[in-house]
Structure 1
Amino acid sequence: MELEKALAMQVKHIIIEPYRLGNETASWIKMGNFLHKASVVSGVISLSTGYFQKDLFSFPLAAASFLTAGVYAVSWASDPCCKYQLETNIGRIQGLSLQDMTSASKVMLVRRDDSRRKYLQNIVSISAILLCAYKVYSVYYS
């Protein structure tokens, strides 16, 4: 309940002490990051292979980029947790009173602006699909 309140209040740093909740939250964030990176990387490779007329690779990669971007948009984009990233270097966070923590295994989340990241993902994914659609159109109607 406290985690949901902290996410709703959009606090800058969140420290999750119960191991199970912290582990589940970290896994959720890692899965969202994986989907985002898979979408961007497959989209960029699709665009570059499409530019060099390697359609055998370009079409499936564009589809993968589009599908992973879609799954990310449906499952993660509306979740307030997607605005947070895991902080693995505790030394980077200055000014937090960490001496009051009772658990040795804590998960630290830092709120980051991800609007540029989402724009990049959507632009790359849509561009890859549009390039493939243009190639199919030009084959059938030229």
Structure 2
Amino acid sequence: MVDEAGDRDESSNVAIIREVYDSENAHETFEYELERALESECSLIVIEPSKLGDETSRWIAVGNCLHKTAALSGLAAIVTGVLWGDRPYICGPLGFTAIITCGLYTVSWQFDPCCQYQVETDTSKLPHVELLAVLGPSSPTFLVRKDDTRRRILHTTITLAALSITAWRVYQAFK
């Protein structure tokens, strides 16, 4: 658990969610502590409970997958729409995939505080390596706060361009 005095360092903005089972609803307590750490925008969150760490890692992986799918299918729709303008059946599904995945990301993940974090597996890249000595023998999950503004702008811009090219190519095909 994160307690304000011992486990939160305000100068370095780090939160450690300790795996302490002191009640029968400890998992809910861990989730509450994670929510508190996410809302306070800590630069590093260390999650010791493996179940919560796995759930959080999977949630972040799904958001990353949606982002990458939107960006890559959007780029593919743009390229195929420009190169093969007479074949809208190629760029159409790619553009539709980009629109759907970008929409899902925007609706489901954009306002989630967890989307501001990435799972860091290489402990040498952690901003506060001295904290590793404090941790127990468990293998915690490390969440590092990253600014995703450029990433959001990138996949939204690509998706809008893909939508424009795809719509234009489909319009030309049925004209």
Q: Which bin holds the TM-score, normalised by the shorter protein?
A: over 0.9
1:62 and 1:125 in contact (8 A); partners too: yes
Alignment of 1:74 onto 2:107: yes
- Give the structure 2 partner of residue 113 of structure 1: 147
Q: How many Å separate the matches in 2 of 1:21 and 1:102?
A: 17
Shift of 1:103: 4.5
1:37 and 1:126 map into 2 onto residues whose CA distance is: 15
Q: Match of 2:96? A: 63
Contact 1:18/1:103, CA 8 A, preserved across alignment: no
TM-score, reference length from structure 1: 0.93
CA distance in 2, matches of 1:83, 1:127: 25
Q: Give the paired residue count.
A: 141
Identity of aligned residues (%): 38
Matches of 1:35 and 1:94, distance apart in 2: 27
Superposed CA RMSD: 1.3
Distance 1:120 1:64 in 2: 16
Q: Which amino acid aligns with 2:34?
A: L
Q: Secondary structure, in 3 states, of the residue corresponding to 1:11?
A: coil
Aligned counterpart in structure 1 of residue 54 of structure 2, from 23, 32, 55:
23
Structure scoring higher RCO (CA < 8 A, sep ≥ 6) equals 1
Q: 1:128: how far off? A: 0.6
> In terms of mean alpha carbon deviation, does 29-38 or 87-96 score higher?
87-96
Q: How far has the Cα of 1:94 moved from its partner?
A: 4.4
DSSP 3-state at the match of 2:46: strand
- The structure with more radius of gyration: 2
Question: Once the two structures are superposed, what CA deviation does each residue of 1:64-122 show, in whole Å capped at 9, x if it has no partner?
Answer: 00000011111111100000001010011243412222252210010000000000111
Over 3 Å counting, the alpha-carbon distance change for 1:94 and 1:66 in structure 2 is closer
Q: Which runs of 5+ in 1 are unaligned?
A: none
Q: Determine the C-alpha separation between the residues in 2 that align with 1:60 and 1:25.
A: 31
Q: Which amino acid aligns with 2:78?
A: L
Please state how far the C-alpha of 1:28 moved relative to its aligned partner: 0.2
Match of 2:83, as an amino acid?
F
Change (3 A) 1:52 1:94: closer
Paired AA for residue 67 in structure 2:
H
Deviation string 1:20-69 (CA, Å, 9 cap, x unpaired) is 00000000000000000001000001100111114222000000000000
SS at match of 2:144: strand
User: Following the alignment from structure 2 to structure 1, what is the Cα–Cα distance between the partners of residues 149 and 46?
Assistant: 23
